Chain A
């Protein structure tokens, strides 16, 4: 069984984790064309190589980012979402347009969601 290194809980059996899909930026739903929107919903890159995914540590309901190689089936690294964001200055959190104020606010410990799931 593979090991996944959870940023909160450390190395654990992959059976404790749930795959959350590839990280892909959501187009602004108010501005995207119908085609852009449906492609965002239904088309996947399906890349052979390094990909960036969401993973969830189920016992703590903790979401994080993993880089994985789909050819070698190796987890290359894992990180908090904030660490991931810090690396991509251009990508930002999902900010739907038309909001009175942007949703993303600088907060302490923002990457840590609550731990227990029940």
Chain B
């Protein structure tokens, strides 16, 4: 255990911690103590460990700044989780916390030499340095990444369970301080379902640690009253420890609480997110121990931690004086209050009456001490940003800063509110927020407690009325004269040499901003990008306003004319895990899936479906697939084709409709017959194929490919919304299981089953279709021949799929029936020269190129794509799909997409290729120029490694060219 305790043992301090529940944890391997309710940072501070991290660029020592998760100084690593904000993350017994961004130890960081080389790290360093000579960046990138990185990603880390949830509300209130509470209560009491979200574990905002009219008790009483009231309202839902990180259109908000991302839809949103403290910019203003007054108040009131033994306060408002009273109450000596102006009033009198030295019209200009502040230099202010020399050095171990605030306008800005600078209060304001967005409290520029309450109540009830669809009222008056006494107009004091930090995340100093402007980047958006001001984890909360002030000072422009940079979501760092959530990836299984598993199938994906690739061990895949092919060619095979799309097209216009959707002619197709279908899009490109089965004059059952059926269905319904033909189209893919029983023994197998279908050759010819029952199961049977053997594609309602599979497998066993998978089917179909749309066609293939001219109806007045195909036919084609065989059996087997080269030029491409055991050679399909498509034409395929494989054009089908076998 390190350091003696720094805890305050008095009532009114340590609201969140439980003194009776001590715990210990490690920081950089050393044991530290804390209490239940502590954050990592408060527990460390309580043990005198003020140093938390090293800065991004210069590796300067850094400590807590906001104690509210708003700065990058507190980023630590907790076990395998990088970039944890130590001032928000609850400490837990036994956790291992590590500091980041240093070489060696946190106390003695070897990279801290960077601090002395800062003149070699000017603003725009990367742009200026690594762009020449070309390629130099790749040599520097690795060491720079090592030096610049924050935290470590462990690729083996457990993903953990993250998820998402929707929330719906009439009124969303962001921020649970006094304004948010008042607004939420008013909205709920007006009758709106209201959701109040606050990032802290306890509601109350600044009431948790601050004062109301000098009085800590008044703040506490007000908080207790408001929270009790809020908790008692049935219509008010409260989420704490949750941060709204973005507001989007149509009342959409994203919020993160723990491992959950909330997606919120609100009719009205009230942003009562408070304000961000602004730093005092002076030499060494980043030393550990220098923190915002509110951070010190949080340490004391929430965690019972004394920020130091002897404090100096630099302020320009009463908040600084209030903090002085808190320090005194906590037992910390207040060495002096340095007032940048001449604040007056009862709070100042109260501080003075307790014997505290008050220095007016002065500022801090320097800090001494390295790992923690030891003393500060004080000087009189002589003009904007100008001081006399420091004459007064005050010893201290902590410095509290309260020189102004910037309203939290990020969320309102995400939603589309315009942000302007208001000279009267030296702060930004959101104007003309979009419909459904309102602001309250400090975010709206309202500060004094009485005004906050009145304004927030009015805002809350107005939002409730608007959410209920009632007319809105005039927005309540947000004009608050006390707001003008908060923010100092120019708390920026440049020293002769040394660093005065504007942006703690990015280690940017006054000089960097000045130089950005001098380098020609005088627009605030360009300054941001060139200097990187505001690009760090703090998102400009502490850097934006001072950057604008410096740009204003250098260019002589008024701040209102300079504008501001754009706020973009997320407000706080979001993890990829939050965005990913729980993965929802639907998997579709056919009715026979369990049987495939039992048969040892290796599965492959087809769209969302899982399909058996083959049945057997991966080690023996090639032989297994050949066996499956052989079974189909010599006996019988059974393949699950349930994933094929199916569409029922019914109604008087069914045939006419199909005629328009597909290229061939269907009006005269006899009932009980199937016909090939080819679909093209409006530009004549082949997009799908299948068969159309006519079961009745008014009923077609059309198949579509697995991956295209949804698109085909959409195209059909889109067309008929316009055509209004008397036809109904239904996608029945999931309703039907289907299996193809193929092979010379197929008929013998089905004939062993009880059926009302006549399966004899003459009664049920090739391309015939029948409906009936098979073994008691209702079926649609298609005699189609994708694999080139006699066979039956049997479709049945999906609930019966497994039973029918079982029945066929049992019936086929004496006949040598084997199940076969997609791999065997690919070989079988290629042996027959059948194309697969999407594999043997691409995004430009027209039917003529694909050798499908025969499927184009010439006499039809219209089908989708007709006009374009006619145009292409007239123009002539530049390639044609042909069959080929490799002529040298010793050469390597080409792969899909290997190129065909002639005289050093690419002239074609292989689309499918397999080693056919049936034929004893390597066969495939390829695109070739029309001049090279005659049978016997020889050409060369360039395979992996550059070898040229000789091949020749072979007419298809390769196997059974007379198509006799499918007809038996």
Contact = CB atoms under 8 A, between A and B. Distances in A.
Given A29-B866, A37-B871, A41-B683, A81 B722 contact: yes
Contacts of B163: none
Contact of A34 (B725, B861, B871): B871
B217 to A, nearest CB: 45
B250 A113 contact: no
B837 interface: no
B620 to A, nearest CB: 37
B730 A114 contact: yes
Given A41-B683, A99-B862, A114 B722 contact: no
Contacts, number: 81
B717 interface: yes
A93 B724 CA distance: 9
B25 to A, nearest CB: 40
A32 B250 contact: no
A98 interface: yes
B862 A61 contact: no
Tell me what chain B mostly uses at the interface: helix, strand, loop, or mixed: helix
Given A29-B866, A34-B871, A1 B248 contact: yes
Contacts of B758: none
B728 A114 contact: yes
Nearest to B874: A34
Interface string B859-872: 00110001110010
Contacts of B861: 30, 96-99
A41 B869 CA distance: 13
Q: Report whether over half of chain A's contact residues are helix, strand or loop; otherwise say mixed.
A: loop
Contacts of B868: 37, 41
A37 B724 contact: no
Contacts of A54: 718
A63 B682 CA distance: 18
A87 interface: no
B714 A32 contact: no
Contact of A104 (B660, B724, B730): B724
A43 B792 CA distance: 46
A18 B683 CA distance: 21
Nearest to A112: B721
B764 interface: no
B663 to A, nearest CB: 14
Interface in B867-911: 867-868, 871
Given A2-B249, A29-B866, A114-B729, A94 B723 contact: yes
A63 B721 contact: yes
A103 B725 contact: yes
A73 interface: yes
Interface in B705-762: 710, 713-714, 717-726, 728-731, 733-734
Interface string A15-51: 0001010000000011010100110011000000000
A34 B263 CA distance: 50
A2 B252 CA distance: 8
B721 A81 contact: yes
A39 to B, nearest CB: 12
A103 B724 contact: yes
Nearest to A105: B724
A56 B724 contact: no
A90 interface: no
A88 interface: no
A10 to B, nearest CB: 13
A73 B249 contact: yes
Contact of B682 (A41, A73, A81): A41
Nearest to B732: A118
A117 B710 contact: yes
A37 B871 CA distance: 10
Contacts of A105: 724-726
B862 A98 contact: yes
Interface of A: 1-3, 18, 20, 29-30, 32, 34, 37-38, 41-42, 54, 56, 61, 63, 73, 81, 93-94, 96-99, 103-105, 107, 110-111, 113-114, 116-118
7 contacts: A1-B263, A30-B867, A93-B723, A94-B719, A96-B660, A114-B729, A118-B733
List the 10 shortest-distance A-B pairs measured between CB atoms, nearest first.
Answer: A98-B861, A96-B862, A29-B867, A3-B250, A113-B717, A93-B722, A103-B723, A63-B721, A110-B724, A118-B734
